[in-house]
Amino acid sequence: MPRTQGSVHDFEAVDIQGRQRPLSEFAGQVLLIVNVASQCGFTRQYAGLQDLYRRFHDRGFEILAFPCNQFGNQEPGDAAQIGEFCSTRFGVNFPLFAKIDVNGDGAHPLFRHLKAAAPGLLGLRAIKWNFTKFLVDRDGRVIRRYAPNTPPEHLAGDIERLLQTPSG
């Protein structure tokens, strides 16, 4: 049986360029981890996410975006297409990762951890749609889960509070 992960920093993920990245490289930063898609009704949230990134990045905030094609086949592209879409359409310059599954037997271990640490409505763990957001403190603890229809700008106050809290 795999050991229970205590922090998002215990995980690794492949980035959009195909490189394995330990999430421990983000230790000490406030994180927003989001499953994203290019052809979703919420895709315009990329703009709001980029605004949060511009506003808070210099203070120790990072967004980690994980493309997912599990909801209505709304992320059909390959890594190059996803990267190009995000940069040209929305000016995204926060880290993008390789396409993953967030639900089911093939769910990425990071998302299994996120869902267990912050269940959704009525305690359900499954992610219901793209642009589900998880806020993580500087120590890698999952603080809160936000529904896909929660606009990124509504997270600013929670991000601000975490940025004012030192790690440890």
- Which residues, other chains included, contact 136 with Cβ-Cβ below 8 Å and sequence gap of 6+? 8, 30, 31, 32, 33, 142, 143
**DSSP secondary structure string, the chain?**
-PPPP-SGGG-EEEBTTS-EEEGGGGTTSEEEEEEE-TTSTTTTHHHHHHHHHHHHGGGTEEEEEEEB-TTTT---S-HHHHHHHHHHHH---S-BB--BB-SSTTB-HHHHHHHHHS--GGG--S--STT-EEEE-TTS-EEEEE-TTS-GGGGHHHHHHHHTSPP-
Which residues are designated catalytic? 40
Angle (CA) 59 138 55, round 5°: 25
